[in-house]
């Protein structure tokens, strides 16, 4: 696990910008650094040493130095690939997975990426062809960004590396902002920075003769269903997951797990503990509020498997750490990211590698909205005019609980979803708690809306929802999440929040062969009636107590809605009156002020929307204005005092 950077230019002076780029991502690889200047390119690398600790220095080259690479990630099938390459006469001088990619390229060219199982992002320079190959893994576990200017083509593991090159000035990409506040992720090749692009998951970029082409090298579908009884499919799932976890143990250093107390992370912990020869280090973060705290359930798993367990409590003062988190993310933080940041900080004190349960909900239908979208269809027997008028008013009269998934919030969601078609229903469900197209019409200023023109965030969902790669309603929802939220939101957050502390996170459920296998499981075994994640729950019964398996899904979170009404109210009012986005002519002050005051007064729970606005303000100060992190932290502390 590392950080990579590169500058393609024939000018040696321009190539030297790679020094600042590598320095900006030092946190990704505290163990080693390497920079080489070649004819046409400079390659830079920061290393977190996990495999072949002594021999894996980068940049790495083939014997005649005609091909060089900087690589970030882990290739889980590299022992098998190495054996096959040796049988072809290839000779290796290290034990690293990086060297395997070099030999694969010499055998298969740009198709080398099709042979890899793992998480990866790399830049490979072919000196003979003067060709650059960039590649990102199948599900987007490892990030990769690039930019083409008049002076050079640059790439790096994080946006801040490209900003450090000096080839671009940080400016807001308005289209990315528009989509982000609805979807909670930035779609396609967009970033929040104009001129900076991300390489999408499962894509490679080939730069040659000054021209870049981007192409997808892998996809999956929900066809070719598994045959057999439920018991037989369950056995096959068990065996597949055990094999996947075993492959993810590949390491020359100890491997632990994140343990939230939910089914997914508990299952990863249980399988790893059964395979390991010594107690598995496990790490959990919780809060004092019982409605959000999952630590007791995490302890149950830790006790059952005798893990070396560590835990930590988070309080409202975590908001003071947002500048640090946002700086590492290069974009606004997410409540989910706060938890990953804190548990990564805890884990990094003890290990360099952990397994996580990320992806279980997206593969096996674990979110309420999967069943909720189907339930909304059942409400359509009530005349639409009654749902639009009477039911809406009744729900508005209900007091807001400000609790996680409060009753009024769920009823409002269900009623509004019932008023839409199947396609629009799922697209709207992604933004309902944040900024819908209707609410953005009030938030954005008239001048910003003119600049945006005809634009709709729903299309970023519907393009995947309506894909031929998925069949029934459940599969369409799962496919959409796996193609959008996983590579553009959840996995990037896990990567950057963990790498902020020099920690590698491996999610076995997101290995692409595991994704292909899960897609073949009939959807009736994923969402069975109203039972979410049915088949994975059945598997979990083989590894843990019924109490853990059957408890209501809670989700890892914080009581942000309460904190915003109390400890954070002063800070939020300051945001309303001194918003950088208002001053820039992008947002309407009256809309922002009204939303915040409604929440503080308890009239409406807007915590998801307010969280986005608060984080955007911090992001703007850090990246657009260039305010030092310490000064932004001081601003937060003064406002939250």
Tell me the pairing of strands 153-156 and 197-198.
unpaired
Q: According to the model, what pLDDT value does residue 289 have?
A: 67
CA-nearest of 323, 341, 268, 308 to 558 is 341
Q: According to the model, what pLDDT value does residue 557 have?
A: 58
534 touches 361 (CB < 8 A) = no
- What tokens were used for 563? 């904190």
In terms of phi and psi (left: phi > 0; alpha: psi -120 to 50; beta: otherwise), the region of 528 is beta
State the CB neighbour count (10 A cutoff) for residue 371: 17
Q: Where are the beta strands (DSSP E) in 385-531?
A: 504-506
State the CB neighbour count (10 A cutoff) for residue 410: 13
State the CB neighbour count (10 A cutoff) for residue 463: 15
d(CA 256, CA 182): 35
Tell me the pairing of strands 2-8 and 41-47.
antiparallel
Q: According to the model, what pLDDT value does residue 335 have?
A: 84
* Ranges of residues in the chain whose predicted pLDDT is under 70: 1, 49-55, 289-293, 315-317, 401-406, 553-558, 641
> pLDDT by residue (tens digit) across 351-392?
999 999 999 999 999 998 888 887 887 787 788 888 888 888
d(CA 278, CA 288): 31
- What tokens were used for 224? 């070719």
d(CA 193, CA 211): 22
For the chain, which domains are there? 2-216 (3.60.20.10), 230-365+480-550 (3.40.50.620), 560-639 (no CATH)
Handedness of CA 409, 414, 415, 421 (dihedral sign): positive
Q: According to the model, what pLDDT value does residue 402 have?
A: 63
Instruction: Please give the positions annotated as active site.
Output: 2
Q: According to the model, what pLDDT value does residue 639 have?
A: 79
Q: According to the model, what pLDDT value does residue 383 have?
A: 83
191 touches 173 (CB < 8 A) = yes
d(CA 452, CA 189): 17
d(CA 35, CA 93): 20
Q: According to the model, what pLDDT value does residue 287 have?
A: 72
> pLDDT by residue (tens digit) across 167-221?
999 999 999 999 999 999 999 999 999 999 999 999 999 999 889 999 999 999 9
31 touches 167 (CB < 8 A) = no
- What tokens were used for 566? 């109390």
- What tokens were used for 262? 């939910």
Residue labelled with tokens 């900087």: 70
CA-nearest of 139, 143, 122 to 44 is 122
- Local structure of residue 625 (DSSP, 8 states): S
Write the DSSP string, 396-431: HHSPP--STT-HHHHHHHHHHHHTS-HHHHHHHHHH
State the maximum Cα–Cα separation within the chain, in Å, rounded to a whole number: 76
d(CA 52, CA 36): 21
Q: According to the model, what pLDDT value does residue 369 have?
A: 85
387 touches 542 (CB < 8 A) = no
**pTM to 2 decimals?**
0.93
């Amino acid at each position: 696990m590392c950080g990579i950077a590169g500058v393609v230019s024939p000018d040696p002076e321009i190539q030297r910008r790679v020094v600042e780029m590598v320095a900006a991502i030092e946190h990704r690889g505290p163990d080693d650094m390497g920079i080489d200047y070649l004819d046409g390119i400079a390659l830079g690398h920061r290393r977190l040493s996990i495999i072949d600790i002594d021999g894996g220095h980068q940049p790495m080259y083939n014997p005649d130095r005609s091909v060089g690479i900087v690589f970030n990630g882990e290739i889980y099938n590299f022992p098998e690939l190495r054996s096959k390459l040796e049988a072809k006469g290839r000779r290796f001088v290290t034990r690293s997975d990086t060297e395997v990619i070099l030999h694969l390229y010499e055998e298969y060219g740009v198709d080398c990426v099709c042979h890899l199982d793992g998480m990866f992002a790399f830049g490979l320079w072919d000196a003979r062809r003067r060709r650059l190959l960039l590649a990102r893994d199948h599900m987007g576990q490892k990030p990769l960004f690039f930019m083409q200017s008049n002076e050079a083509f640059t790439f790096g593991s994080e946006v801040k590396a490209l900003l450090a090159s000096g080839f671009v000035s940080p400016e807001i990409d308005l289209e990315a902002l528009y989509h982000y506040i609805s979807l909670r992720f930035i779609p396609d090749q967009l970033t929040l920075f104009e001129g900076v692009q991300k390489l999408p998951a499962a894509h490679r970029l080939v730069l040659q003769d000054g021209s870049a082409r981007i192409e997808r090298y892998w996809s999956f579908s929900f066809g070719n269903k598994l045959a057999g009884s439920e018991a037989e499919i369950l056995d096959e799932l068990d065996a597949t997951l055990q094999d996947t976890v075993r492959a993810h143990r590949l390491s020359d250093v100890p491997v632990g797990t994140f343990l939230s107390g939910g089914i997914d992370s508990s299952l990863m912990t249980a399988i790893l503990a059964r395979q390991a020869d010594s107690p598995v280090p496990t790490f959990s973060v919780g809060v004092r509020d019982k409605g959000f705290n999952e630590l007791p359930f995490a302890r149950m798993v830790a006790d059952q498997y005798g893990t070396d367990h560590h835990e930590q409590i988070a309080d409202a003062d975590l908001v003071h750490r947002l500048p640090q988190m946002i700086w590492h993310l290069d974009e606004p933080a997410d409540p989910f990211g706060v938890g990953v940041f804190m548990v990564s900080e805890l884990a990094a004190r003890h290990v360099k590698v952990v397994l996580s349960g990320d992806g279980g909900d997206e593969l096996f239908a674990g979110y309420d909205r999967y069943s909720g979208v189907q339930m909304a269809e059942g409400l359509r027997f009530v005349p639409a005019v009654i749902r639009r008028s009477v039911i809406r008013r009744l729900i508005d009269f209900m007091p807001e609980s400000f609790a996680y998934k409060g009753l009024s919030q769920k009823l409002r969601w269900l009623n509004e979803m019932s008023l839409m078609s199947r396609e629009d229903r799922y697209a709207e469900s992604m933004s309902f708690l944040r900024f819908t197209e209707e609410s953005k019409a009030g938030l954005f200023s008239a001048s910003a809306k003119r600049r945006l023109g005809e634009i709709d965030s729903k299309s970023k969902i519907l393009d995947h929802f309506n894909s031929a790669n998925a069949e029934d309603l459940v599969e369409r929802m799962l496919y959409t999440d796996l193609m959008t939220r996983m590579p553009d939101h959840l996995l990037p957050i896990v990567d950057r929040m963990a790498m902020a502390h020099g920690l590698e996170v491996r999610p076995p459920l997101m290995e692409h062969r595991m994704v292909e296998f899960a897609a073949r499981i009939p959807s009736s075994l994923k969402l069975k009636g109203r039972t979410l994640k049915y088949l994975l729950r059945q598997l979990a019964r083989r590894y843990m107590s019924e109490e853990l398996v059957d408890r209501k899904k809670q989700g890892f979170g914080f009581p942000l809605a309460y904190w915003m009404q109390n400890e954070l109210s002063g800070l939020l009012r300051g945001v309303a009156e001194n918003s950088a986005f208002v001053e820039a002519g992008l947002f309407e002050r009256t809309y922002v002020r009204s939303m915040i005051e409604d929440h503080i007064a308890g009239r409406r729970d807007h915590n998801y929307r307010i969280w986005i606005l608060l984080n955007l303000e911090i992001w703007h100060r850090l990246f657009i204005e260039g305010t030092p992190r310490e000064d932004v932290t001081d601003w937060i502390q003064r406002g939250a005092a």
